[in-house]
Chains A and B, each alone.
Chain A
């Protein structure tokens, strides 16, 4: 429908204006955060939020980045997220392949175990996992966190990849099997390339999820030097309790990686979300 025809009906135009207003309201939290981050806190405190800023500066960003420790927290997030992401995709594609391609006793039970585990409020696992990391000597290391993320995300990834792999026509795999290809090579050289769209969607989504995790970071880590950015922000909040411009600037810095991923891989992100729920 062309824009001109669309706006011919007054009701439709009114509805459209309402939609625009609601959308803009939806974006207000972002807008006010950005505006706040460039101002000084004293300026806002003395002259109010709706005042023309006296000065505009990057001071709050500098403060959050250097003294607030974000320059340390942000790399930590990547150190934790990327290995977890790679490992969980690798392991889940293995188990998904087994579930999608073979009939064996317990196939469905195993599938349900993964799906059920995905739905679990993960806080339920908090105390045993805390004890386990202590027992294994992984408490307060990157590896404890990486191991847990890898394991917990296996459920969702296996569920999604298994359903995707079932849509790959069996004849292709059968032909490879006839040619004497080993199962392991079929998985790696035929199934994995064919699953690439789902893997891309899943990687985008999982990156955001693992990157944004807060609970496990505060439970499995204690040292400030190891904290990812979510836990770091909570520390920053305690440290700058009276300076909201620094806290807000820090929060904005923390969103940069996921926003970049989202902007460039938006299609995959949405695909990942919907793949999981409509199958």
Chain B
């Protein structure tokens, strides 16, 4: 091998070695290290010592863990249904050239530029039991019984927070579906009309199947986003009242940074990692398939 071809073979490594080192130190390494920490009794100060499965045994007996897990599942169910349906419907409507389409689109995706902290604060004020807009509106139209303590009632609080997440997510899903619709060959839609399909049949049998790759992406993103839920809960309730709005990420944060049970927190994060790994693999499998089409 001449020096020149040898240099050429090595070139790609020069390009990715820097980024790969950074990525390994800050992302890949910590991902593995968190699993290790979950088997230790680390308290954040002294050095961690291995204690076997004890964190997990404790975790599986902890009622807060099950509340948090159920809340994440509620979040997930809402996220893979409501924003997906609403976003798809909006995309189908706004993809046609209706008057003011640009205004509608901008309105729906504007919540996305706000940080979740800002969303949480603005909505906390809307949910304010005494003078918040929602309760004030119910009182103004004499529906006082609907004026609730949205963030203080343990049966309502989780749904009230998820609603904020949904509010912010709809625009995102809409944008993804709009892009998907742009990619559909219009002759296919025209052909279905020539064949006598009505509008509903065209959507059901032509457009939706063509959008299925987008749907896969949207569902996976929604699931991952629901597992990432943290900011809204942290700002709006900190998981209260009595853990009723706790989610896994929040539970982990409180155990690790407020109670200094970092090893226990790592066990929670290991569970979160396992849950997400399922969906990450589904997604990677899909990426692999599109890769092989090249």
Contact = CB atoms under 8 A, between A and B. Distances in A.
A198 B276 CA distance: 28
B122 A127 contact: no
Interface in A87-124: 91-92, 94-95, 97-99, 101-102, 104, 107-108, 110, 112-117, 119-124
Contacts of A178: none
Contact of A45 (B104, B131, B257): B131
B231 A125 contact: no
Contact of A277 (B98, B108, B110, B214): B214
Interface string A40-74: 00001100111000000000000000000000000
Interface in A187-227: 187, 208, 211-215, 219
A29 B37 contact: no
A119 B284 CA distance: 10
A16 to B, nearest CB: 7
Contact of B230 (A123, A154, A184, A208): A123
B75 interface: no
Interface stretch (B175-183, B186-194, B200-208): B175-183
B196 interface: no
Which 9 residue pairs are nearest across A and B when measured between Cβ atoms? Answer: A151-B26, A212-B115, A128-B30, A274-B179, A98-B15, A102-B12, A95-B19, A128-B33, A49-B136
Nearest to B178: A274
B146 to A, nearest CB: 16
**What is the size category of the interface that chain B forms with chain A?**
35 or more
Nearest to A245: B125
B19 A92 contact: yes
Contact of B27 (A98, A152, A230): A152
B57 to A, nearest CB: 19
Interface string A245-260: 0011011101100110
A162 B175 CA distance: 22
- Find the residue from A94, A116, A219 having the highest chain B CB count within 10 A: A116
B54 interface: no
Given A30-B110, A116-B284, A123-B252, 14 more contacts: A48-B131, A92-B19, A116-B280, A120-B27, A121-B272, A127-B37, A150-B26, A183-B11, A208-B113, A214-B230, A233-B118, A255-B118, A277-B214, A278-B214
Contacts of A187: 15
A124 B108 contact: no
Contact of B117 (A150, A151, A184, A234): A234
25 contacts: A26-B107, A28-B133, A29-B111, A32-B125, A49-B131, A107-B12, A115-B284, A115-B287, A119-B276, A121-B276, A123-B228, A123-B248, A123-B272, A124-B34, A125-B31, A126-B252, A128-B33, A128-B34, A151-B23, A154-B27, A214-B234, A234-B234, A234-B235, A244-B125, A277-B221
A102 B175 contact: no
A92 B23 CA distance: 10
A230 B98 CA distance: 37
A151 B25 contact: yes
Given A92-B19, A277-B179, A277-B217, A119 B133 contact: no
A17 interface: no
B31 A124 contact: yes
A138 B92 CA distance: 49
B130 A91 contact: no
A129 B253 CA distance: 13
Nearest to B263: A127
B123 interface: yes
A214 to B, nearest CB: 5
A117 B23 contact: yes
A278 B270 CA distance: 30
Contact of A150 (B22, B108, B121, B130): B22
- Find the residue from A115, A123, A128, A262 having the highest chain B CB count within 10 A: A123
A213 B234 CA distance: 13
Interface in B112-143: 113-119, 121-123, 125-126, 128, 130-133, 136-137, 140
B114 A255 contact: yes
Contact of A112 (B12, B214, B284): B284
B151 interface: no
B273 interface: yes
Nearest to B38: A127
Given A29-B122, A124-B269, A127-B269, A97 B15 contact: yes
A23 to B, nearest CB: 5
Nearest to B101: A19
Contact of A36 (B125, B167, B175, B253): B125
Contacts of A116: 280, 284
Contacts of A183: 11, 14-15
Given A104-B12, A214-B234, A119 B224 contact: yes
A91 to B, nearest CB: 4
